[in-house]
A = this chain, B = another copy of it.
Amino acid sequence: MGRGEGGDRDTHMATPELPDIDAIRQAAARIAPVAHRTPVLRSKFFDERTGAQVYFKCENFQKAGAFKFRGAANAVLSLPEEEARRGVVTHSSGNHAQALALAARMRSIKATIVMPEGAPAVKRAAVAGYGAEIVTCAPTVRAREQTAAEVVARTGGVFIHPYDDARIIAGQGTAALELLADVPDLDVVLTPVGGGGLTSGTAIAARALSTRARVLAAEPAGADDARRSIGAGRILPSENPQTIADGLRTSLGELTFAIIRRLVEEIITVDDASTLMAMRHVWERMKIIIEPSAAVPVAVLLAGGARFAGRNVGVILSGGNVDLDALVWSAANG
């Protein structure tokens, strides 16, 4: 599966850009000066509930509040100077937007973020707060892509896809690289899957660094394109995803599909009620804020029954960007 390796047996597409463990190691070196090495937390509650030893990799404490900063920083910092000077462009209403804006600011280059009309004001404010330019478009995938292409054509900026990009995947893989360095004897790594960047990077790292760790991807039942796509052997995008896990409404891309179908053991879906309950348990028992997308693998863990008993299980808590305006704050006076 190496970069430029020719012995790929079952692929029907050219895969020269697939990142490997060397790309992840290089990404780790590149982003070390700017990204947090996030802590790994334990929880007696979750250990008792599952019979497992659970290790939570806390990307909610990452810069800009999510693992997305790893990939964005790797992409921005790996640009040659003459490309970087033209700035970076993406379309996102979520954590990738903030992450890319922050990474660009750190390199003192321009970032232009295409965001759909109706994106939450708090997210627009965060992106603007990092100094990025926001271009608004209609809330459709087509409008986003077209608008981003127009910005690229106009500015000469470098488009950085949120997940279907080897630099992004390598960056996201640094979370599992750190986790496996801290806890080498993991049996399972649980990660949420949306577009598949985090899952792909995690799977590449686990395959290279561990002989025993299997990677399981957790997906919302209402946005189960990854499960369906892997089952069908071809990409079947989500048409109208319905889930509170707003970071996981995206569909697999070509790169992430190719990696996940070969390296991920299983894709497990959970409903939103289980995700909400899992999120609440983490807030209440661990006293940390995670976002719904990060609670999806926790819900899979809790629903696992005896599956995880006696195992060392790593869970990547992908982010902590919750819109607190959606909670009723005056009610905090319980």
Binding site for B on A (CB under 8 A): 39, 60-61, 65, 120, 244, 246, 276, 279-280, 283-284, 287-290, 292, 320, 322-334
Contact = CB atoms under 8 A, between A and B. Distances in A.
Contacts of A322: 332, 334
Contact of A328 (B244, B292, B320, B327): B327
Contacts of A244: 332-333
B289 A283 contact: yes
Nearest to A280: B324
When all copies of this chain in the complex are counted, the total is 2
Given A65-B287, A287-B65, A289-B289, A326 B320 contact: no
A60 B289 CA distance: 12
A171 to B, nearest CB: 20
Contacts of A290: 287
Contacts of A289: 283-284, 287-289
Contact of A332 (B61, B120, B288, B326): B326
Given A322-B334, A334-B322, A329 B287 contact: no
Contact of A283 (B120, B279, B324, B334): B324
A97 to B, nearest CB: 15
Given A244-B333, A328-B331, 8 more contacts: A244-B332, A246-B334, A276-B330, A279-B332, A284-B324, A323-B334, A325-B334, A328-B328
A242 B319 CA distance: 36
A277 to B, nearest CB: 9
Contacts of A332: 244, 276, 279, 292, 322, 326-327
A197 B296 CA distance: 40
Query: Interface centre among A61, A276, A283, by most B CB within 10 Å?
Result: A283
Contacts of A246: 334
A178 B327 CA distance: 35
B334 A280 contact: no
B334 A276 contact: no
Contacts of A60: 287
A328 B120 CA distance: 19
Query: Interface centre among A284, A287, A290, A327, by most B CB within 10 Å?
Result: A287
A324 B276 CA distance: 12
A276 B329 contact: yes
The 8 closest A-B pairs by CB, nearest first: A323-B334, A326-B334, A287-B320, A287-B289, A244-B333, A328-B328, A60-B287, A326-B331
A237 B166 CA distance: 65
A331 B324 contact: no
A331 B327 contact: yes
B334 A120 contact: yes
A280 to B, nearest CB: 6
Contacts of A284: 289, 324
A67 B297 CA distance: 30
